[in-house]
Structure 1
């Protein structure tokens, strides 16, 4: 039977919404959408670059709680509020993810005015 755990570190971002930030099922790690929020889950508005970097750093923290790094990510789903930010998004994405890249889906024009970017991920714990 596959063990399912809900890892958390003291600096893992939390939310008042009803979801788990990360679930580890065996060697697979599933991360809920990470946005530009502080440790208490409050949205931190910024430029697209600032929100992108904060979101990916939150992803990094949540992955660490499950024993993973960005290098262990095999799939991402990305939400970009404004299609005009896609060029910058691709540039920044390459700073955090390298070849061979994770599989990726990107959806634009989909976030509320309070967020510019959000990322969710699936990773595999390397034995």
Structure 2
């Protein structure tokens, strides 16, 4: 059975989708960007928006007892795929996963994003 996940500690969905879904032993987190739970965009930089997106993902996972170490795969979108943006993104990403021995797999791509610099999805395993 699919279970919808909702966290007050992440932004409300802006469309017809769930923040996350728990399905069996897996959690699928919808794309999280630089918006904070109060609806405001966190800063103008890739670093600030990456921090907000990863914090949102962490808070959604915690609703079902999971955390960042349970993530097995992430898809990351940057509005401008430049060397400096990727470096800034990686610096913040590493700070969230620094103490986790087995890092998640990841793809990072350049995408047309609407008003944000970063969007990240995650798949976590509860096994």
Could you tell me the TM-score, scaled by structure 1's length?
A: 0.86
Work out the CA distance in 2 between the residues paired with 1:33 and 1:63: 13
The question of whether the paired residues in 2 share the 8 Å contact of 1:22 and 1:66 is answered with no
Size of the aligned set, in residue pairs, is 123
Residue 74 (structure 2) aligns with: 76
User: How much does 1:96 deviate?
Assistant: 1.4
Work out the CA distance in 2 between the residues paired with 1:92 and 1:123: 20
Which consecutive residues of structure 2, in runs of 5 or more, have no partner in the other structure? none
Which consecutive residues of structure 1, in runs of 5 or more, have no partner in the other structure? none
The question of whether the paired residues in 2 share the 8 Å contact of 1:8 and 1:66 is answered with no
Could you tell me the TM-score, scaled by structure 2's length?
A: 0.86
Residue 124 (structure 2) aligns with: 123
Q: 1:76 to 1:48 in 2, by over 3 A?
A: same
